[in-house]
Amino acid sequence: MGGTIAKRLLSAGYAVRGYNRTASKATALQEFGLVPVATPRDAALGASVVFSMVSDGDALAQVCVGQDGLLQGLGQDSIYVDLSTVGPAASESTRIAVREHGSRFLAAPVSGSVTTIEEGRLSFMVGGDEQTLESVRPVLLDIGPVITHVGTVEQAAAMKMAVNLSVAIQMIAFSEGVLLAERYGIEPDRSVDVLLHSVIASPMLAYRGRFLLDPPKDPWFTVALGRKDLRIMLDMAERVDLPLWSVSAAAPILAAAEALGYGQAELASVAEALRTMSGGTGCTSG
């Protein structure tokens, strides 16, 4: 998703320098005008707006305050916008580090997918100073049209978890529906089609549901990332004494899927894990 966002910024006419821990993912964007750099610090040097999008809180700390981190290149007038899906504590720690550096910070996790970005339909849930948001709003609008200020950076992170709570649970329920239909002799391609034309077809399932039959070569959202999010949700819920029954049920399913070797596979592969756990055979179309 980070690379697709970079392409939108490039197509909007911005000069973009980019860093990725897997260097080839940045160099692959050179044909679109991206200038690859060797460190987060190099990406931040001289930039008016700096974006990051990483997998978890540890990665965020490393890219921000680690060796050659972006804080070493971030200017006093720069705005740093983190688009990552992390917990409230990680987002707040980043805000404090950026404030102590003398720069401005926004947490702006997103809702959408690769296709959502390509189609210009990405939405942001933003936490931080509203005046800072107004300064960067034109840039965000060149990425996606929906920008909602939800409060503090911790509240933005919590809102993202509230959104993602449904992602894994919907995917598990969808997969179990396909498996139930299959046990009654209905081919997966037919049941997927029926489900995606029924009242349960959310926008997320509309693009991810068919991944049960034809997963993308490069996963959009992995089982491991889904499991990471559920762990954060359960930790958040414990802090406010809130039982999350559906998350508590989904977490061991994703843990089992990861144990079966599906951790780095697309989230839709949870269907194969569930089939394996129930003693079934592989999912085939046609």
Beta strand pairing call for 110-111 and 123-127: antiparallel
Q: Identify the structural domains of the chain with CATH numbers, from first to last.
A: 2-151 (3.40.50.720), 158-277 (1.10.1040.10)
Cβ–Cβ < 8 Å for 61, 90: yes
**In this structure, is the dihedral angle defined by the CA atoms of residues 25, 154, 103 and 108, taken in order, positive or negative?**
positive
Per-residue pLDDT in tens (0 to 9) along the chain, 286 residues: 888 999 999 999 999 999 998 888 888 889 999 999 999 999 999 999 999 999 999 999 999 999 999 999 999 999 999 999 999 999 999 999 999 999 999 999 999 888 888 888 899 999 999 999 999 999 999 999 999 999 999 999 999 999 999 999 999 999 999 999 999 999 999 999 999 999 999 989 998 999 999 998 889 899 999 999 999 999 999 999 999 999 999 999 999 999 999 999 999 999 999 999 998 654 444 4
Measure the CA–CA gap between 77 and 158, rounded to whole angstroms: 27
> If you write DSSP's letter for every residue of 63-110 in order, what string do you get?
HHHSTT-GGGT--TT-EEEE-----HHHHHHHHHHHHHHT-EEEE--E
pTM for the predicted model, two decimal places: 0.91
User: Treating both helix axes as pointing N-terminal to C-terminal, what angle do 153-183 and 188-196 enclose, rounded to 10 degrees?
Assistant: 130
Phi, psi dihedrals of residue 104, rounded to the nearest 5°: -110, 145
Residue 235, token pair as written in the block: 């930790």
Element (H or E) spanning 208, and its range? helix 203-208
